[in-house]
């Protein structure tokens, strides 16, 4: 048996899979949860050592013979997190993760110094939004000057795991484009923007070397080999952000295929051979981890709404879905605006969650439950409409994330988006994507040629035919009206949340 490892460092947990690429099956897998540090000011942080502890725990659960069978490692990581290290590679502070909105004022400060958000969009392809790494760096400089003075390396979460595995500092273009500091057209750092973060210091020296997606971050060090029980010297691929690896794990690596994730955050994305800069600012202009580009809409609140509602009513997932299924499409007119942790798309860092449209006849538990599920997909519809205006013509949406496990949510997604949806056979798409990318790098190292990645995804990424949902024409009509009302409420509420 020959395997490649896929590691996924997510918000809630670390997942590890050992993929038997000869027999095309998962040989072993494990996961370990993460804690989260939250604050009323929008703070969302984790400690980098928690990730390493979780990683070690996962590997201890894998049989020794499986651990010794692996030939390469790929890492997926939550995007945008800021991991500052000193010269010895010691983490200097808690990691501000992607969902942190406490740096909203720093975003405005950076854009004002650059000239405007519009100019940034024109020059680099992206504005500086809450959640992006750039504002976290400025926040760190202002709030913790003594620690900042010791900073010698700036890494993202997946880069930090690559550093743990190899002892080398690197960053791949796809994840790097989520820092806000990369010119995504030219795949180079925006030197002027970096200088604005600290006019008195050359921060570019803290940024690691940039890697092509097909490159290797290094090889497994002796220390990582001993701590994880895998072979020293095996290849560690470039890796990438969780959305970039999710694209590989769903086969979203060529035009015409789109994927959507219903996780803590919600994302919808598609592959492009050329950069896609969205003047409406709905789509982030990211590079892919496959050599192309990955325009993407991301919301900070997706399953957040259902999880908070479940907690409020002390209901488990199965009963929640059963209750929500008793309501009709449109939830009797109730709409949830799910900005529980602020929001990135639309750009409302001070957003709050609310429930609207309640009357004395529609205020039922089924309607409230279902409305939180519908709200997550209404947010995604904005992205799909933007993609279609840009010329994308998806034939189906490949659905991943926790929400994809719910047959009801899958049908809601199909009806709101008016497009068939299907779930990959292996649902941990980011972990599988990391493993397939590792296999891609491994094979070209052996053959000295770069084969199209789509050849590998066609072979190793399969869809669950039984999960496929087709739009219901009556529900589609109902949701068209609900969506227009949803957008109208957001337009009215937005001035309160900016």
Could you tell me the end-to-end alpha-carbon distance of the chain, in angstroms, rounded to an integer?
55
Measured between alpha carbons, how far is residue 446 from residues 77, 439, 440, 449, 453 in Å? 26, 11, 10, 8, 15
From the list 20, 159, 175, 242, the catalytic residue is: 242
Residue 73 near residue 7, CB atoms below 8 Å: yes
240/271 Cα distance (integer angstroms): 15
51 contacts: CB under 8 Å, gap ≥ 6: 9, 14, 34, 157, 160, 161
Tell me if residue 242 is catalytic: yes
Q: Is the dihedral of CA 107, 113, 119, 121 positive or negative?
A: negative
424, two tokens:
């990959």
Residue 342 near residue 349, CB atoms below 8 Å: yes
427/424 Cα distance (integer angstroms): 6
Q: Please, what is the angle between helix 104-114 and helix 117-124, to 10°?
A: 80
φ/ψ of residue 294, rounded to 5: -135, 75
Active site residues: 242
């Amino acid at each position: 048996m020959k395997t490649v490892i896929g590691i996924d460092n997510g918000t809630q947990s670390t997942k590890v899979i050992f993929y038997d690429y000869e027999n095309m099956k998962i040989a072993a897998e494990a996961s370990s949860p993460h804690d989260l540090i939250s604050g009323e000011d929008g703070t969302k942080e984790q400690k980098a050592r928690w990730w390493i502890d979780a990683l070690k725990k996962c590997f201890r659960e894998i049989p020794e013979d499986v651990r010794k069978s692996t030939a390469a490692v790929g890492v997926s990581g939550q995007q945008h997190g800021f991991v500052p290290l000193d010269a010895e590679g010691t983490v200097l502070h808690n990691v501000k993760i992607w969902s942190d909105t406490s740096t909203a004022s720093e975003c405005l400060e950076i854009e004002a110094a650059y000239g405007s958000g519009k100019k940034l969009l024109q020059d680099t392809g992206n504005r500086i939004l809450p959640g992006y790494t750039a504002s976290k760096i400025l926040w760190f400089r202002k709030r913790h000057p003594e620690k900042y003075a010791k900073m010698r390396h700036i890494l993202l979460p997946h880069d930090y795991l690559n550093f743990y595995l190899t002892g080398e500092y690197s960053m791949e273009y796809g994840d790097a484009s989520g820092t806000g500091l990369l010119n995504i057209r030219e795949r180079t750092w925006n030197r002027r923007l970096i200088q604005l973060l600290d006019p008195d210091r050359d921060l570019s020296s803290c940024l690691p070397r940039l890697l092509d997606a097909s490159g290797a971050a290094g090889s497994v060090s002796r220390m990582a080999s001993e701590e994880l029980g895998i072979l020293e010297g095996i290849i560690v691929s470039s890796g990438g952000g969780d959305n970039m690896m999710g694209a590989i794990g769903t086969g979203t690596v060529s035009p015409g295929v789109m994927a959507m994730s219903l996780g803590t955050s919600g994302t919808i994305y598609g592959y492009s051979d050329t950069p896609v800069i969205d003047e409406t600012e709905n789509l982030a202009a990211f590079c892919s981890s496959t050599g192309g580009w990955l325009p993407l809409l991301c919301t900070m609140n997706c399953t957040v709404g259902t999880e908070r509602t479940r907690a409020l009513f002390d209901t488990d997932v199965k009963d929640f879905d059963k209750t929500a299924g008793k309501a009709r499409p449109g939830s009797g007119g109730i709409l949830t605006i799910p900005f529980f942790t602020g929001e990135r798309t639309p750009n409302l860092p001070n957003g709050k969650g609310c429930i609207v449209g309640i009357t004395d006849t529609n205020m039922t538990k089924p309607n409230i439950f279902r409305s939180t599920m519908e709200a997550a997909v209404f947010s995604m519809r904005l992205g799909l409409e933007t993609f279609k205006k840009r010329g994308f013509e998806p034939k189906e949406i490949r659905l991943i994330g926790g929400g994809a496990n719910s047959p009801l949510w899958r049908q809601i997604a199909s009806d709101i988006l008016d497009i068939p949806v299907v779930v990959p056979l292996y649902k941990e798409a980011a972990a599988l994507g990391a493993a397939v990318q590792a296999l891609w790098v491994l094979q070209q190292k052996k053959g000295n040629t770069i084969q199209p990645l789509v050849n590998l995804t066609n072979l190793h990424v399969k869809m669950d035919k039984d999960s496929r949902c087709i739009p219901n024409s009556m529900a589609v009509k109902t949701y068209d009206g609900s969506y227009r009302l949803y957008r109208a409420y957001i337009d009215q509420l937005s001035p309160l949340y900016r």
